[in-house]
Chains A and B, each alone.
Chain A
């Protein structure tokens, strides 16, 4: 019994050194898209974030975020179910999406730019997003928006690839609440 407990603990200790605790209950991965000009939002309920970010040394910052694609939530149950299907996220074959940062730059005025690789549905692309970091007590809240072309990742294939109905651009809004050690 003790060993069973120790094993995950050991794995935790062996995790990359840049790990900074992320309060997942306060963090969010949401997105907005437009269908027929109508804004619609959704979110991913399950994700893991391995982040190290210090506003004093932004260049040394790193982020590795793994998203459970099956945890997608849209306004209707029907839409959520549809989004897990093959034409969309194909959650059965590609259960995880991942973002790994390659660089973080300070833009001044508490604004930063993160670049990295986003892997969705087995397709990897270089992406870049601006974000802000707000310190409050022992937490640091990172807020940013990553504009994504859904078609670049084959999100919405077949008849869904028509951008006249569902627009190509999707804004991925991330909020990560980092707990400073």
Chain B
């Protein structure tokens, strides 16, 4: 029973891995964006793009796993409203994990600066170069990241509430231990 109330180990590993990668990519992106143009900026921006594309690849694996393995049941003590908020929150996080790297990729294509993974593999351009659209996609990329920041803060706050206030053992769903 306890086993069924837990995510698949691969889902748990991906959750942790992506949490670290996304926080790093987010902070790194903010920092690189603030830099004046320099060789370092070119380099770091490439790293940021590689990280973002890695997030996109991992989230696709994660979505497939979620569809195949599902998620463990929520505690019976949760109200219908709380369940709805939990599902909506998770859906929002999935949407953002796809939309944010995609908006970055679109922005790169619009700027005419393709993404070359690890400096080796050039990804196809999603759209043709479009100097008017490019800065707008940049704004969208920033806006989506602000939404992500709020969504993640909400996600962490909810987890802490379940652990310390509700004490319903919800966090064990995402833990490899115990």
Contacts and interface: CB of A to CB of B under 8 A. Distances in A.
Nearest to A40: B113
A37 B119 contact: yes
Given A35-B42, A165-B42, A78 B37 contact: yes
Contacts of B114: 38-39
Interface in A9-66: 35-41
Interface of A: 35-41, 75-76, 78-79, 82, 159-160, 162, 164-166
A103 to B, nearest CB: 35
Contact of A82 (B37, B111, B113, B134): B37
Contacts, number: 45
A79 B37 contact: yes
B111 A37 contact: no
Contacts of B122: 38-39
B5 interface: no
Given A35-B42, A38-B46, A38-B115, 10 more contacts: A36-B43, A36-B119, A37-B46, A38-B114, A38-B116, A39-B114, A40-B113, A78-B37, A79-B37, A160-B39
Contacts of B58: none
Most A C-beta atoms less than 10 A away, residue of B37, B39, B46, B111: B39
A118 to B, nearest CB: 25
A76 B112 CA distance: 9
Given A75-B111, A75-B129, A76-B111, A36 B37 contact: no
6 nearest interchain CB pairs?
A37-B119, A165-B39, A36-B46, A75-B112, A75-B111, A38-B116
Interface string B12-49: 00000000000000000000000001111011001000
Given A78-B37, A165-B43, A36 B129 contact: no
B38 A38 contact: no
B71 to A, nearest CB: 39
A165 B113 CA distance: 14
Nearest to B38: A159
Nearest to B138: A76
Interface in B138-162: none
B120 interface: yes
A35 B112 CA distance: 13
A42 B55 CA distance: 30
23 contacts: A35-B42, A36-B42, A36-B46, A36-B116, A37-B116, A38-B113, A38-B115, A38-B116, A39-B122, A40-B112, A40-B113, A75-B112, A75-B113, A75-B131, A76-B111, A76-B113, A76-B134, A78-B37, A79-B37, A82-B37, A159-B38, A159-B39, A165-B43
